[in-house]
Amino acid sequence: SAVISQKPSRDICQRGTSLTIQCQVDSQVTMMFWYRQQPGQSLTLIATANQGSEATYESGFVIDKFPISRPNLTFSTLTVSNMSPEDSSIYLCSVEDGALVNEQFFGPGTRLTVL
């Protein structure tokens, strides 16, 4: 299974600033996903990031607020822009392992607190 790392593991940010979260995979993968997990809540898909194309955003999430880059098959970034306290969440990236259809492996998450 793929091994996924995320940076930073946690951060505390001021309102109005932006934070970029990095997701690194130890193997080449086609599909990468970004999720948000608000405090005490379940996971919600933000967007799907495929290399070489624009990310596909789910309802309620927009590119201006959550720009995503996918420069190659092992790396992606998610930026949380113009942050407000409501953006305080855990952000997780995941990948779909090509050998295991429909099976996703998750990174350790980034805990973001916005003051």
Q: Which residues contribute to the site for other proteins (CB under 8 A)?
A: 33, 41-45, 48, 58, 90, 92, 94, 101-106, 108-109, 111
How far apart are CB 62 and other proteins at their closest, in Å? 17
Nearer to other proteins, 86 or 101 (CB): 101
> Where does residue 54 rank: exposed (0-12), middle (13-18), buried (19+ CB within 10 A)?
exposed
Bridge-based pairing state of the strands 19-25 and 43-50:
unpaired
Nearer to other proteins, 34 or 74 (CB): 34
How far apart are CB 9 and other proteins at their closest, in Å? 9
Nearer to other proteins, 85 or 101 (CB): 101
Backbone angles phi, psi at 92, to 5 degrees: -120, 140
Helix/strand/coil for 87: helix
**Would you state the structure tokens that stand for residue 88, as one six-digit string?**
């305080």
**Would you state the structure tokens that stand for residue 43, as one six-digit string?**
């996971």
Nearer to other proteins, 24 or 48 (CB): 48
How far apart are CB 5 and other proteins at their closest, in Å? 11
